[in-house]
Amino acid sequence: MSRSVAVVGAGLAGVATAYELAALGLRVQVFERGGSVAEQASFASSALLSPFVPGLAEAGAPAPLGLRLRRWRAGRTGGDAPATLAALSHLSLARTAALRRELGLDDEAAEGLLVALADAKRAAAAEAALPGWQALGLQVELIEAGEARRREPGLNPDAPLSAALALGQGGAGNARLFAQQLRLQAQRLGAEFRFHTTVRAIAAEGAGLALQHEYTPPAEAPTRGVERDAGDTLPQPAGPQQERFDAVVLCNGLEAAALAGQRLRLAARHEAAVTAPLRLLEAHPDLGPKGGWVDPSRGLTVARSGQRVRVTGGLAVTDARAKATPDFEALHRGLQHWFPGSVLHQQVQQGLSRRAVPADGLPLLGAAARPGLWLNLSPGGQGWGLACGSAQLLAQQVAGQAPALDITALGPQRLA
């Protein structure tokens, strides 16, 4: 009989992992506390499908000194981690494109991802960084402001722009829609999903792991003994349950530390998001972004998601429990600066979300200290961009195969 694997968390990481494990013929059960897939960090995504480009994310919004020091130390000891991450990013975006194509996933994909270099100083710094990025095999191109405006004709002609970086393989889309469709494909391959089910503990049991889980009713509904609204998912009895699995993969972001049985040193990165309907005017067909637009100087991103525009930013990094105060006004100002008049101000949605960031800013991908336990935790803003490749490589390892890329440098043992 094939090996049984539990996946904890049904965000982008968990859904992609479930799909890849099921595709390799393993028996997969996904446990998710919420009522559907991609309800937490994956719901909040800025909608960018972005390659990893070292130094780009921090360019406009530096992390606190403590975090930068930890990253610097990690960078010194982590050796080839940036090269591994660049290769993983490339593999992952290629895997995402292949899944979209082969499975017919339609997540409102939009091509093109540009990074604004508002002044000559930033353009010069980017030009100096180019050889390093290219040495890592990254497809990064420095383009003139005129070319950037041609690719994004909705850009404000009065907003100063010196140049832009065009990130190859990058684009925008609807991460939640992607996760929902991939979930259906995973189910088609036999993976089972249990929603409103929280994993409470994981312990060694013989050669496998005992997973303790419990039905967790949605906060707004009275306790019930069976699952309420998750459609074709498994019914769940009330009270704590225990089940044995050959392996468990933790894909539950910030909360993985509570189940991992080892210290993971995760920080929380808070980000505000505003989503608004695109203004559709026949006389101005180019309103709004065509793809993804990143402004490191303001620390914000603007992306096209179907007929909507999504703006995210206002970043703060704290410890895993602290709260942050969102500055939605800054996002509205940023959108008005780059794409004026592009959205309707009715039906605007605003929200604040947090995502896990390992202390050194790299993914935690590989075998945990406890035998049979695996981690798939993506860093900061790269979660979607890395999800499909990370899931594929991890699934190969869980299935006992050699992964297509050596990802030892990203393994949790580096935190020991």
* Residues of this chain that bind ligand FAD (CB under 6 A): 8-14, 31-34, 38-42, 44-48, 50, 198-199, 251-253, 255, 271, 273, 312, 353, 355, 378, 381-385
Please state, in angstroms and rounded to a whole number, the distance separating the CA atoms of residues 313 and 301.
7
DSSP labels, 176-240:
HHHHHHHHHHHHHTT-EEE-SEEEEEEEEETTEEEEEEEE---TTS---SS--S-SSS----SSE
Q: Is 27 helix (H, G, I), strand (E, B) or coil?
A: strand
Give the CB-nearest residue to ligand FAD.
Answer: 383
CB nearer to ligand FAD: pick between 175 and 343:
175
| Sign of the dihedral through C-alpha 230, 234, 239, 240 | negative
Query: Residue 225 burial (CB < 10 Å; 0-12/13-18/19+)?
Result: exposed
Least gap, CB of 254 to ligand FAD (angstroms):
7
Please state, in angstroms and rounded to a whole number, the distance separating the CA atoms of residues 224 and 345.
40
CB nearer to ligand FAD: pick between 145 and 391:
391
CB nearer to ligand FAD: pick between 70 and 310:
310
CB nearer to ligand FAD: pick between 46 and 169:
46
**CB–CB of 13/45 below 8 Å?**
no
CB nearer to ligand FAD: pick between 251 and 395:
251
Phi-psi category of 218—alpha, beta or left, where left has phi over 0 and alpha has psi -120 to 50? beta
Least gap, CB of 208 to ligand FAD (angstroms):
18
Q: Which residues pair with 272 in a beta bridge?
A: 313, 352
CB nearer to ligand FAD: pick between 123 and 176:
176
**CB–CB of 196/33 below 8 Å?**
yes
CB nearer to ligand FAD: pick between 33 and 123:
33
Please state, in angstroms and rounded to a whole number, the distance separating the CA atoms of residues 401 and 111.
34
Q: Are strands 300-305 and 247-250 parallel, antiparallel or unpaired?
A: unpaired
Amino acid at 276: A
CB nearer to ligand FAD: pick between 253 and 358:
253
Measured in residues, the chain has a length of 416
Please state, in angstroms and rounded to a whole number, the distance separating the CA atoms of residues 221 and 404.
45
Least gap, CB of 379 to ligand FAD (angstroms):
7
